[in-house]
Structure 1
């Protein structure tokens, strides 16, 4: 399947094709996925720079656009990152907002199941007749880290998705092995598979883990590692 980057000659038509693919996919999903894709489409239409593959918008502005609070924005952006539809190009820091790009390959792969509903001309144009079979699960590739499972929707699942998006290697080595034990107020307790593992995370990665947790749930104030 080709990646239809909306640049150069015919870029305008490709933009419409991408938005059509997203819309057709959303309409075949449940209400929660429909709303999530609609939010992304609105954000892309209003603020995405197609030529530079750049989406740099503050959470407060996104919250206003979506008519939600900033906590919802954090959660939805983390889910889109975990899904691979948004890719962090530059992490926000010191008043600078995070800069995202679109994960078009992942997005087109996921929406391809609905291309035929638009029409055979659209299906051919998008996939050049080579539409991926969504029922085929690709085998793991050496060096590629599988994204975390976010189906539980906990603050830790979403934080893992954030950490995976920032640094897949670090995630595979130190974060994937941590499991959620409990949440008591602002304290989130995680279990490490060994004392060495737990000590390393506590010493070198605690601040980073806490930042990721606070990105998706601002009420988290402390990370506790147990063995």
Structure 2
């Protein structure tokens, strides 16, 4: 069997996340149904990251195995034609038989977008945060989370036997037009981790707290010690690096 990798974009508002769930509309299920229709064969689609309900993606990656040859241009055109309008395959290629979209991923990059400008065109893709933020202070806080740390305090219940250590390679804030964008890159992320980090950083900035407080949160290893998670609509899986 041949192994194929695809890159996917999706607007997560109307979906209950990536992973297939009983009686819920998910990205993985919609893609598998569309691919089966075109290839006339069941496929098991393996995603690089399992995004939560309402979260978007600009560069989700997945792989599947298929018994025949695929003309990738025709395949992408045909699958996109029958997918819901909130999902699209942007690229595809044949890869080595042993390639695994999740386990071979070296780094994942997420973006979180906030804005203090109310607009009917922004609400689906950003968190309306009705105040200006001090980006310099937020970036000072980010220095405390870069590196290999135990991020149990920022996660929902972790998966069994997976551990809670993550290596964050970079984290920073920037202002672009009406938006303030948080970018974070790590080898892996725990469930709910990015949104809780953002919520905690914003709370600390609002209260003008000392950045050492982040180390205290990390050391406690208790979800209750961190701030509230921000809403899902501002979060994007931006890129997966191999």
Q: Please give the TM-score of this superposition, normalised by the length of structure 1.
A: 0.25
Of Structure 1 and Structure 2, the greater helix share is in 1
Higher strand fraction (1 or 2) = 2
Higher relative CO (Cα under 8 Å, sequence separation at least 6) belongs to 2
Q: TM-score, normalised by structure 2?
A: 0.24
